[in-house]
Amino acid sequence: MNRSSSMFRIQPADRILSLPEQFFASLVRKANQRIADGHDVINLGQGNPDQPTPPHIVAKMQEAAANPLYHKYPPFNGFLFLKEAIAHRYKEDYGVELDPETEVAILFGGKTGLVEISQCLLNPGDVCLVPDPGYPDYWSGVALSGAEMAFMPLLESNAFLPDYSVISRSVLEKAKLMFINYPNNPTAVCAPASFYEETVKFARDNQIVVASDFAYGAIGFDGEKPRSFLQTPGAKEVGVEFYTLSKTYNMAGWRVGFALGNPELIRIINLIQDHYYVSLFGGIQAAAAEALTAPQDNVKALVATYESRRNTLFQELREIGWKAKPSEGSFFAWLPVPEGYTSADFADLLLNQANVVAAPGIGFGASGEGYVRMGLLTSEERLREAVRRIGRLQLFK
């Protein structure tokens, strides 16, 4: 064979080819092109916190970075002091007791754990119950495991909570894992205690592990503190909760998260991570512990900022005739699109005619059709300007 005439070909593994398309990549490209064309674009379509990490956390990182102890490999499962810090925070905030050594796993951001849990538990032919609409990276982990998804519609008629009674017996017999997420991305609702009680019973009765995504756990409005799944009696028996410092402390780029709860699930998560990582840089772990154990005044101030922005946004929306229920938690708003538009068409209209970026609901699942998601991640002045621009389109009169 003439080697010079042959072409070397890279053939990705089936698991790579099975990964879901990153829907929002095209949204980012469109927005960036609009900006490159010279337009003043107000981007409300992404979920990246706009405030800096509090100074005392940054200062702790700067101090810790100079400590030679942290220049070596950290313990594979992370430093115990960081696990103790998250246990302290959960005890103080939710009254939940956690054993730092057996019920806490340190993650490279919450997203990593949400992908890993599917790889830890699911085989080809198994089923994972996924909220629809929901966070697209749930899909990624299921795809990598070779399992299948069954979607649980989150409908406004059911307060954007899944209805377990409509899941078929054939699906339940194959289901091994389910995701829940409150305060919810993208619908911005919180779940009551009764929902978590129902979820624990449902999981126990059907032998399904619960993965509670609590990324927005600190962000609740109108004096209501979001509940942790782990506050529910029996929760540790059936599942784990994923928590992240990204939203609570504006540490999205620091990549610090935790899996919390059932000791056997924590053991398995630590096991898979032993094959991927040697834990986080010790300086980051020290700074994360500082975030969790220092006075939480910065968290209260951040939540107050988001609540004020929410109030401003929904007041402005009412003035242009855009009717929607105000967000209960998270830093998002979930808004119905006008009649006659798909969510993608409406998002394109807002970008092209108002220079406002919104995320189309279809990107979060089929049941997200008919809505767009907007983030509270810019100043109140820019939120007002965004709604004024939309109002000039006269879509809600």
Tell me the per-residue pLDDT of 306-363, one tens digit each, with 9 for 90 and over.
999 999 999 999 999 999 999 999 999 999 999 999 999 999 999 999 999 999 999 9
Domain residue ranges in the chain: 19-48+298-391, 55-293
Q: Is there a contact between 340 and 327 (Cβ–Cβ < 8 Å)?
A: no
The 3-state DSSP class for residue 278 equals coil
d(CA 371, CA 388): 19
Confidence of residue 397 (pLDDT cuts 50, 70, 90): confident
Q: Is there a contact between 178 and 209 (Cβ–Cβ < 8 Å)?
A: yes
Q: What is the mean pLDDT of residues 276-305?
A: 96
Confidence of residue 4 (pLDDT cuts 50, 70, 90): low
Identify the residue whose tokens are 């053939």.
11
pLDDT of residue 364: 95
Confidence of residue 375 (pLDDT cuts 50, 70, 90): very high
Q: Is the pLDDT of residue 6 over 80?
A: no
Quote the DSSP letter at residue 326. P
Confidence of residue 5 (pLDDT cuts 50, 70, 90): low
Q: Is there a contact between 167 and 203 (Cβ–Cβ < 8 Å)?
A: no
- Pseudo-torsion of CA 195, 182, 259, 245, nearest 10°? -150
The pair of three-digit structure tokens given for residue 314, joined into one six-digit string: 């929904």
Instruction: Count CB-CB contacts under 10 A for residue 281.
Output: 17
pLDDT digits (tens, 9 = 90+) for 47-91: 889 999 999 999 999 999 999 999 999 999 999 999 999 999 999
CATH class of 19-48+298-391: alpha beta
- Exposed/middle/buried for 317, CB within 10 Å: 0-12, 13-18, 19+? buried
Nearest to 216 by CA among 207, 231, 227: 227
Nearest to 135 by CA among 187, 84, 70: 187
- Pseudo-torsion of CA 242, 328, 387, 361, nearest 10°? 50
Q: Is the pLDDT of residue 202 over 80?
A: yes
Nearest to 190 by CA among 216, 157, 163, 166: 216
pLDDT digits (tens, 9 = 90+) for 82-131: 999 999 999 999 999 999 999 999 999 999 999 999 999 999 999 999 99
- Pseudo-torsion of CA 329, 128, 112, 104, nearest 10°? 80
Q: Is the pLDDT of residue 3 over 60?
A: no
Which backbone phi and psi does 223 adopt, to 5 degrees?
Answer: 75, 5
Element (H, E) at 210: strand 209-213
Confidence of residue 148 (pLDDT cuts 50, 70, 90): very high
Element (H, E) at 147: none
- Pseudo-torsion of CA 189, 195, 197, 199, nearest 10°? -100
Q: Is the pLDDT of residue 1 over 80?
A: no
pLDDT digits (tens, 9 = 90+) for 203-257: 999 999 999 999 999 999 999 999 999 999 999 999 999 999 999 999 999 999 9
The 3-state DSSP class for residue 42 equals strand
Q: Is the pLDDT of residue 2 over 60?
A: no
d(CA 5, CA 392): 61
Confidence of residue 19 (pLDDT cuts 50, 70, 90): confident
pLDDT of residue 20: 85
Q: What is the mean pLDDT of residues 380-393?
A: 97
Q: Is there a contact between 384 and 316 (Cβ–Cβ < 8 Å)?
A: yes
d(CA 373, CA 45): 7
The 3-state DSSP class for residue 336 equals strand
d(CA 383, CA 385): 5
User: Among the CATH numbers 2.60.40.1260, 2.40.110.10, 3.40.1160.10, 3.40.640.10, which is that of 55-293?
Assistant: 3.40.640.10
Mean pLDDT (the chain) is 95
pTM of the model: 0.94
